[in-house]
Structure 1
Amino acid sequence: MCLGVPMQVLESNGFVALCADDSGVSAVDVSLVGEVSEGEWLLVFTGAARERLSEARALDIRDALSALTAALNGDFDPNAHFQDLINREPSLPPHLQALVKKEA
């Protein structure tokens, strides 16, 4: 399985862009999305950009990946990782509601 990672363009040179994420800076093939500009957000799979993202969508994906990493490391906190879902409709499923109440 391959996960897409949101990355922000630092500079572009034809079909290659220098992009950054939380883990560092990488050269990204942008031939599938076309020319990009500094500041744009891209969804990158194994070194190739597959989609342009709004900043809000890029940050949502980054937060979801952060929650996944925390869960894999045993540091999952539903109050932090599902903060945007706790008090909205539809509500969290019962098994996650129980975790939120337990942590609160």
Structure 2
Amino acid sequence: MCLGLPMTIVETDGVSALCEYCGGQRRVSVLLLSAPPVGAKVLVYIDTAIRLLEEEEARLIGAAIEGVGAALNGEDFDRFFADLVDREPQLPEHLR
């Protein structure tokens, strides 16, 4: 399974960018984006930044990834999904 990671651009030359996530860095393509600046949060999938992220969305994605890791390790994971605890799942408008 492949996951998209919320990464922060550390440096870029317009074609590729050095991005960081959880203390690790990797160079990714930014050709699908329109000149993302240093400091921008991007969703990276298979070494390609596929879209810009708002700070809150990047935080939620990062928390969900940490939550999956906690669940796989048999640890409590509710704190990683605080936005979902104590509410019913909601279908997108087009599926209602």
Short-chain TM bin: 0.7 to 0.9
CA distance in 1, matches of 2:17, 2:24: 14
Preserved CA contact (<8 Å) 1:17 1:36? no
Say which SS state the counterpart of residue 56 (structure 1) adopts. helix
Q: Cα offset for 1:92?
A: 4.7
CA distance in 1, matches of 2:88, 2:63: 17
Greater share of helix residues, 1 or 2? 1
Match of 1:77 in 2: 77
Residue identity opposite 2:85 in structure 1: I
User: How many corresponding residue pairs?
Assistant: 89
Please list the CA deviations of residues 29-77 of structure 1 after superposition, one character each: whole Å capped at 9, or x if unmatched: 0011131101101000111111111111101100011101111111133
Bigger CA radius of gyration: 1
CA distance in 2, matches of 1:67, 1:77: 5
CA distance in 2, matches of 1:44, 1:51: 8
C-alpha RMSD over aligned residues: 1.7
Q: State percent identity of aligned pairs.
A: 37
TM-score by length of 2: 0.82
TM-score by length of 1: 0.76
Preserved CA contact (<8 Å) 1:15 1:34? no
CA distance in 1, matches of 2:55, 2:42: 9
